[in-house]
Amino acid sequence: MSGDKHRNHVLELEQRIAELERRVEALAQAFSRNRHQARRPWLRPPLWVLEQHRPRPLVSNPELRDEAQPSGALPEIAIVTPTLNRRAYLNATIDSIVGQSYRRLNYRVQDGGSTDGTQALLASYGPRLSWHSGHDDGQAQAINRGLAESDGEIMAYLNSDDLLMPGTLTYVARVFQTRPDIDVVYGHRIFCRRRRARDRTRGPAAS
């Protein structure tokens, strides 16, 4: 009889411990949610809507736009654009790249199997770019696949709703030729509307 009483007592203690563990877990989750809610006001507004100045018309820098390409052997630049059903924007993206008139450009579009007429658009560019259309597991895999099929001393990717400003590739090539200590070059962002560009940037491209 005493043995049954002991077992029941142990079972009761185990049940109490389990209940205490459930309560501790519930309190921890409630604390985490409350802390997150308390922090949210400090995280607003998100970074992608911060502005340094009010929107203004975009003016291309003529010195960069008309800059002569570096003398001597040009570095080959490989650019990959990953895309999926972005035909409405892809045309402008491609034009901003192939319109650079950079002599050693290796440009590839990696399409994830679009169903919006993207393939017909890509085919219309003929030999000015290479492209492939097929299922992938997202942007990162598309970029990696595209770069694996590309040759270049300078490697880059540009999303299918982004643009390069005139003279970008010449500027990048010159920076790498004159600054061998630099490994990465990137530019400031400019938010664009379909018919009007809004310049929210300051200063030259950074490296």
Which helix (H) or strand (E) element contains residue 83? strand 77-83
- Model confidence at 62: pLDDT above 60: yes
Cβ 199 vs Cβ 190: under 8 Å: yes
CATH assignment of the domain containing 138? 3.90.550.10
Q: What is the pLDDT of residue 139?
A: 93
Burial of 94 (0-12, 13-18, 19+ CB in 10 A): buried
Distances (CA, A) of 165 to 92, 98, 117, 188: 11, 12, 26, 11
One domain for residues 111 and 153: yes
Three-state SS for 10? helix
Q: What is the pLDDT of residue 206?
A: 40
Q: What is the pLDDT of residue 154?
A: 95
One domain for residues 156 and 81: yes
207 domain-assigned: no
- At 126-178, the pLDDT tens digits run 999 999 999 999 999 999 999 999 999 999 999 999 999 888 999 899 899 88
One domain for residues 9 and 100: no
Q: What is the pLDDT of residue 89?
A: 93
- At 71-99, the pLDDT tens digits run 678 899 999 999 999 999 999 999 999 99
One domain for residues 67 and 33: no
Work out the percent of the chain whose per-residue pLDDT is above 70.
75
- Model confidence at 26: pLDDT above 80: yes
Residue recorded with tokens 């519930």: 26
Q: What residues make up the domain containing 110?
A: 62-198
**Where is pLDDT greater, at 26 or 138?**
138
- Other beta carbons less than 10 A from residue 8's beta carbon: 10
54 domain-assigned: no
The span from the CA of 98 to the CA of 114, in Å, is 21
Average pLDDT over residues 4-28: 82
CA atoms within 13 A on the CB side of 159: 7
One domain for residues 102 and 185: yes
